[in-house]
C-alpha cells in the first residue's frame, strides 16, 4: 500500500505523514460531530449574515477548526473590503 | 492499605489492554505490592489465560455481584506471585450482568485489602467500558501506532474526560522504531500531538510478548526483554517514580525531551 501511494504521490510523501494528516481531519470531525459538509454550510451562512452588515470578499473568508490541546475551536478570518474601494463603486 | 484503582482501556479491540493489565499487575506484584486484577470483559474473558490462571477459576465477577460467593472466594491467588490476584470475568453471561455502581461497590470493598486494583476493560464504548471506568482513580488508554487505534483512543480519551475520570494517561504499544525512522509508522510525538494527552509508557514491538503469552507468564517478569522493561517502567511511573523513557534507539532525542515533560505518576 505504501509503495503504491509513494508512486502516486512521489517519494517524499511518507505514509506516516499521510496517516497524521488524515487523522488530524478525522479527529476534528469526531470531536465536534461536525462534518466537512456542515462546516461548509456554516461558512456560507456566516458569509451571508456578515455581508448584510459589512462588505467582505467571500473568497477570502477562512473558517477553520483549530486544535488547542484537546479543545477544538472554530476560527474565522474574515478580511473586510477597504472602505475606499467601497465608496468608489 | 487504600488501593488505587487503575483501569486499562482502549476503544479498539486487540491493541493490548489485557496484555498491559496482566503485565502491569505482575510488575507491581513482583515489587511486593498487593494487586487484584478484575477482568470486566464479560463473555470474552482473557485475562485468566494471559496470566496463566485459567485452570483455577471457580467463581467469577458475576458470581460475586449476584451474591453466589464472597469476594474472597472469587479471588484467584497466583502461586508464582503471592501478591497477585485475579477476579475473572464470567464467560457465559454478557456485560449487562454488571452495572457501573456494582463495580464501584466491589472496588470499595476491595480497596482496604490491597494496594492496586487493575481493571481490564472490554473493547467498545458501551456498558462494559462504563463498568470498567466507573471505579477508576486513574485511566490508562492504550493504543498502537495505527490510524484506527489512534482514532478510537481519541474517542475514549474524550469519554474518559466526559465521565470526569481524566486526564487519561496514554500507553503506546507495539511501536517499531525502525518503521518510525523510515517514515512508515506514526511516531511518539505524532501520536501525542494528535491526542494531546500525557504519555505514561511506550512498549516496543517484541516477539517475546507472544511467547510469554503462550506460556501464560507475563513478560514483565522477564528481566531481559525490552517490552518487559517497558511494562516495569510504567508500573514504576504509576507508583509515582520518575522513570526516563527507554531509549528506543532512533528516538532517544525526543524521548529524552518527553521524559522531562512527563509528570511523575500517581496524582
Cβ–Cβ gap B184/A16 under 8 Å: yes
Cβ within 8 Å, pair B196-A67? yes
Residues in B touching A20 (Cβ below 8 Å): 186, 190, 193-194
**For the ranges A8-17, B18-27, B164-173, B255-264, which has the lowest average pLDDT?**
B255-264
User: Which residues, in sequence order, are CB contacts of A7 under 8 Å at separation 6+?
Assistant: none
Taking a C-beta distance cutoff of 8 angstroms, is the pair B134, B101 a contact? yes
Checking if the pLDDT of B245 tops 60, the result is yes
- Residue among B147, B184, B194 minimizing CB distance to A2: B184
Q: With CA atoms as reference, report the closest residue to B39 among B29, B51, B47.
A: B47
Tell me which chain A residue has its CA closest to the CA of residue B192: A69
- Cell numbers that stand for B89 in this block: 470475568
Question: How far apart, in whole angstroms, are the C-alpha atoms of residue B176 and residue B253?
Answer: 16
Contacts of A17 in chain B (CB under 8 A): 183
The C-alpha cell of B147 is what? 490510524
Is the pLDDT at B66 greater than 60, yes or no?
Answer: yes
The alpha carbon of residue B148 is apart from the nearest alpha carbon of chain A, in Å, by 9
**Cβ separation A19–B147 shorter than 8 A:** yes
pLDDT band at B9 (very low <50, low <70, confident <90, very high): very high
Q: Report how far residue B63's alpha carbon sits from residue B57's, in angstroms, rounded to the nearest whole number.
A: 12
Express each pLDDT in B147-204 by its tens digit: 999 999 999 999 999 999 989 999 999 999 999 999 999 999 999 999 999 999 999 9
End-to-end C-alpha distance for chain B, whole angstroms: 17
Rounded distance, CA B16 to CA B144, Å? 8
Q: DSSP secondary structure string, B219-238?
A: GGG-SS-HHHHHHHHHHHHH
The C-alpha atoms of residue B257 and residue B236 are separated, in whole angstroms, by 19
Domains of chain B listed by start with CATH number: 4-261 (3.40.50.300)
B90: cell is: 464470567
The beta-carbon neighbor of B147 closest among A2, A23, A31 is A23
A30 and B151: CB-CB below 8 Å?
yes
Chain A residue with CA closest to B161: the answer is: A70
Alpha-helix residue ranges (DSSP H) falling in chain B? 17-30, 47-51, 61-65, 71-74, 100-111, 127-133, 147-162, 177-182, 188-195, 208-215, 226-238, 252-261
How much is the pTM?
0.85
A-B Cβ pairs (cutoff 8 Å, strict): 46
State the pLDDT at residue B267.
35
Of all residues in chain B, the one with the smallest CA distance to A14 is: B183
Cα–Cα distance for residue pair B31/B33, rounded to 1 Å? 6
ipTM of the complex model: 0.82
Amino acid at each position: 500500500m505504501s509503495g503504491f501511494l509513494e508512486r502516486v504521490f512521489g517519494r517524499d510523501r511518507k505514509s506516516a505523514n499521510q496517516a497524521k494528516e488524515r487523522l488530524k481531519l478525522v479527529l476534528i470531525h469526531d470531536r465536534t460531530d461536525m462534518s466537512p459538509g456542515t462546516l461548509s454550510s456554516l461558512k456560507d451562512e456566516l458569509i451571508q449574515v456578515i455581508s448584510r452588515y459589512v462588505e467582505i470578499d467571500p473568497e477570502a473568508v477562512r473558517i477553520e477548526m483549530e486544535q488547542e490541546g484537546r479543545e477544538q475551536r472554530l476560527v474565522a478570518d474574515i478580511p473586510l473590503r477597504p472602505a475606499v474601494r467601497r465608496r468608489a463603486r | 492499605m487504600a488501593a488505587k484503582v487503575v483501569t486499562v482501556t482502549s476503544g479498539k479491540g486487540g491493541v493490548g489492554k489485557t496484555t498491559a493489565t496482566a503485565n502491569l499487575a505482575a510488575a507491581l506484584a513482583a515489587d511486593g505490592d498487593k494487586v487484584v486484577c478484575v477482568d470486566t470483559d464479560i463473555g470474552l474473558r482473557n485475562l485468566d489465560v494471559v496470566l496463566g490462571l485459567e485452570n483455577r477459576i471457580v467463581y467469577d465477577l458475576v458470581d460475586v455481584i449476584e451474591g453466589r460467593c464472597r469476594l474472597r472466594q472469587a479471588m484467584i491467588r497466583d502461586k508464582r506471585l503471592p501478591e497477585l490476584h485475579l477476579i475473572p470475568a464470567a464467560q457465559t453471561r454478557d456485560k449487562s450482568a454488571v452495572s457501573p455502581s456494582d463495580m464501584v461497590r466491589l472496588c470499595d470493598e476491595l480497596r482496604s485489602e490491597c494496594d492496586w486494583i487493575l481493571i481490564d476493560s472490554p473493547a467498545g464504548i458501551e456498558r462494559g467500558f462504563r463498568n470498567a471506568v466507573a471505579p477508576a482513580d486513574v485511566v490508562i488508554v492504550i493504543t498502537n501506532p495505527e490510524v484506527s487505534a489512534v482514532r478510537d483512543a481519541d474517542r475514549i480519551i474524550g469519554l474518559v474526560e466526559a465521565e470526569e475520570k481524566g486526564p487519561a494517561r496514554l500507553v503506546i504499544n507495539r511501536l517499531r522504531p525502525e518503521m518510525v525512522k523510515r517514515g512508515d509508522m506514526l511516531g511518539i510525538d505524532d501520536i501525542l500531538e494528535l491526542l494531546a494527552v500525557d504519555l505514561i509508557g511506550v512498549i516496543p514491538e517484541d516477539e517475546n510478548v507472544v511467547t510469554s503469552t503462550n506460556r501464560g507468564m507475563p513478560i514483565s517478569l522477564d528481566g531481559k526483554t525490552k517490552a518487559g522493561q517497558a511494562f516495569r517502567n510504567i508500573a514504576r511511573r504509576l507508583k509515582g517514580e520518575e522513570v526516563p523513557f527507554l531509549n528506543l534507539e532512533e528516538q532517544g532525542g525526543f524521548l529524552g525531551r518527553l521524559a522531562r515533560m512527563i509528570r511523575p505518576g500517581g496524582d
